[in-house]
Structure 1
Amino acid sequence: MSRSGPDAVVMIVDDVPANLAMLHDALEQGGYTVRVATSGERALESAKLEPPDLILLDALMPGLDGFETCLRLKRELGTRHIPVVFMTGLTDTDHVVRGFQCGGVDYVTKPIRPQEVLARIAAHLANARQMAESQQAADAAGDAIVAIDEERRVRWATPLARRWLKDILDADERLPIALRQWVGKDQETSCVWPTRERRLVFSRLGSARGGDQRLLIQSQAHVPEPEALVRALKLTQREAEVLHWVALGKTNVEVGGVLDMSPRTVNKHLEHIFQKLNVETRTAATTVAINKGRAGTSPADA
């Protein structure tokens, strides 16, 4: 869990000794444990070995500059959660925007004003602690929740979510393209992604601190194909097609659009399905389709 107050560890990354000394003294007087790095490369090595609670990062350094250093921190699962506050003598808007695009949470301009830096650090450490506590609560509840950044890259995930996502994320831990596109479509409340073992249903939980988008993932058993439903439940081909799409969560209007029939005709088919399955609701029919429909699946269909 991220620490705040006297237990917090702050790393200062700057290639100018005078800046390091001044900030080191100010932070120690503020009650923080301080670590220093004089280059982006050393900062990355140190952060991976033992992640600090916050990083004060000089934007312009020889070699690996602060922007690239921040990008690399955010690509690593073990360090992407660390709040990064940029230090820069540049007030140009493009450089400020670039810092945020790299994953920074804030920036301070040089010459550094220690009291301002201390206030900003305290605020961001408090935010990070609240986020960590929220994540721990989700872990304890056993929920499958994932937070993604603007590039649709996983920032953090509960253990269950990470297990379900491990086979569908790309090398940069980004969601598949279709899921990335869905995240940007506010009008679509959920998205289904089939895997070898289950159907993953993604829905939005809102934005987390720092602008990350939180998603809830729910697992659903695979719905048998219509042919399997015909064999197992003695339905007509058309009834089996309607039940298949109903079991996938489609409304009568949506099923009608898929099967090129009116919603009223869909409803008539559902009435016949309910009678044959001896059920009264769509949920009950879906349960029968999933449980008994598998019996009609041949080894070649599996």
Structure 2
Amino acid sequence: MSSPTKVFCIEDDRDSADLIREDLTDRGYVVKVAYDFSAALATLAAFMPDIIVCDVNVPGMTGFEFLESARGIIQGERKIPFIFLTGNADKASIMRGHSTGADEYMLKPVDFDVLDTVIRKYTEHEEALDGTPLPFGLTRREVEVLQWSARGKTSAEISIILELGKRTVDFHIDNAREKLNVATRTEAVVRAALLNIIQL
């Protein structure tokens, strides 16, 4: 049995940080929180997380600077996925986040279903039920959502069936569409069916 995914969260708002830790811990993650970048840098190498979730605006330095410093500390180790979680919705911040090397740039308030999905996207290596890897890096949940789409279900209906938020369903569909290199949900369903990933 694989060990729990380790999440390192850097967030100076203690209430927000504690809420993130509580929710992710309830979902089975091992979560360590730092309230400032100095503490984060001091404990990063010892904790060696599987993924980092980081605010952009934390006293001492920006999240962009922290990302560069963190990558320097863990140089030579495996690439650790990095998620910015911030209220900065301006285009310049989003572009800088991606150009700095962040894997995702998510906006507050936190949608924990989406955050959970993003974390799993970067930390889980999905296999089909028979143990063979799923093609195109698809996850079981993405295949499940595509299968229900093939049956004519809307995102709202799928969210009820799978007990997920509608935004989470749309997120899975968008991920599947990108992995299958198609522009629309319908094209994703058709390609998945042609490749025998799902059944029509």
- The answer to whether structure 1 residue 54 and structure 2 residue 47 are counterparts is no
Letter in 1 for 2:93: H
Q: Answer with 27-36 or 97-106: which moved more.
A: 97-106
AA aligned to 2:119 is I
Shift of 1:44: 1.4
Q: Are 2:62 and 1:44 aligned?
A: no
Where in structure 1 are there 5+ consecutive unaligned residues?
128-302
Inter-partner Cα distance in structure 2 for 1:58 and 1:79: 23
Q: Taking structure 1 as reference, are residues 45 and 88 closer, same or farther at Cα in structure 2, changes over 3 Å only? A: same
Q: Which residue of 2 aligns with 1:239?
A: none
Letter in 2 for 1:67: F
Aligned CA distance change for structure 1 residues 5 and 87 (closer, same or farther; 3 Å): farther
Which residue in 1 is equivalent to 2:189? Answer: none
- The SS at the match of 1:20 is helix
CA distance in 2 between counterparts of 1:79 and 1:14 reads 24
Check whether the contact 1:5–1:32 (CA below 8 A) recurs between aligned residues: no
The question of 1:118 aligning with 2:116 is answered yes
* Cα contact 1:10–1:55 (8 A) shared by 2: yes
**1:33 is matched with which residue?**
30
Aligned pair in 2 of structure 1 residues 79, 41: CA closer, same or farther (>3 Å)? farther
* Shift in CA distance, 5/68, structure 1 to aligned 2, threshold 3 Å: farther
Question: Structure 2: how far apart are the matches of 1:93 and 1:16?
Answer: 23
Computing the radius of gyration from Cα coordinates, the structure with the larger value is 1
Q: Secondary structure at the match of 1:68?
A: helix
Give the aligned partner of residue 129 of structure 2: none
Q: Does 1:87 align with 2:76?
A: no
Measured in 1, the distance between the counterparts of 2:20 and 2:89 equals: 20
Percent of pairs identical after alignment?
Answer: 27
Question: Once the two structures are superposed, what CA deviation does each residue of 1:124-157 show, in whole Å capped at 9, x if it has no partner?
Answer: 1126xxxxxxxxxxxxxxxxxxxxxxxxxxxxxx
Measured in 1, the distance between the counterparts of 2:76 and 2:91 equals 30
When the two structures are superposed, what TM-score results if normalisation uses the length of structure 1? 0.39
- Seen in structure 2, the aligned counterparts of structure 1 residues 107 and 11 have a Cα distance that, compared at 3 Å, is same
Q: Rate the CA distance shift 1:16–1:69 in 2: closer, same or farther, 3 A.
A: same
Q: CA deviation at 1:6?
A: 5.6
Task: Give ranges in structure 2 of 5+ residues lacking alignment.
Answer: 126-200
The structure 2 residue matched to 1:102, chosen from 97, 100, 103, is: 100
Q: How far apart, CA to CA, are the structure 1 residues paired with 2:20 and 2:77?
A: 22
What residue is the counterpart of 1:19 in the other structure? 16
Structure showing greater relative contact order (alpha-carbon pairs closer than 8 Å, 6 or more residues apart)? 2
User: For each residue in 1:219-243, what CA deviation from the matched residue of structure 2 results, as whole angstroms up to 9, or x when unmatched?
Assistant: xxxxxxxxxxxxxxxxxxxxxxxxx
What residue identity is the alignment partner of 2:88? L
Distance 2:108 2:60 in 1: 20
Indicate the structure with greater strand content: 1
4+ residue segments displaced more than 6 Å: none
**Secondary structure class of the residue paired with 1:7:** coil
Aligned twin of 2:69: 72
Q: State the AA in 1 paired with 2:103.
A: V
Q: Distance in 2 between matches of 1:80 and 1:68?
A: 20
Number of corresponding residues: 124
Distance change (3 Å), C-alpha of 1:99 and 1:5 = farther
How does the TM-score come out when normalised to structure 2?
A: 0.58
The CA distance in 2 between the partners of 1:20 and 1:79, in whole Å, is 26
Describe the superposition over 1:107-137 as per-residue Cα deviations: whole angstroms up to 9, x where unpaired: 211111111111100101126xxxxxxxxxx
In the TM superposition, residue 49 of structure 1 has moved relative to its aligned partner by 2.1
Mapped contact 1:12–1:20 kept (Cα < 8 A):
yes
Root-mean-square deviation (Å): 1.9
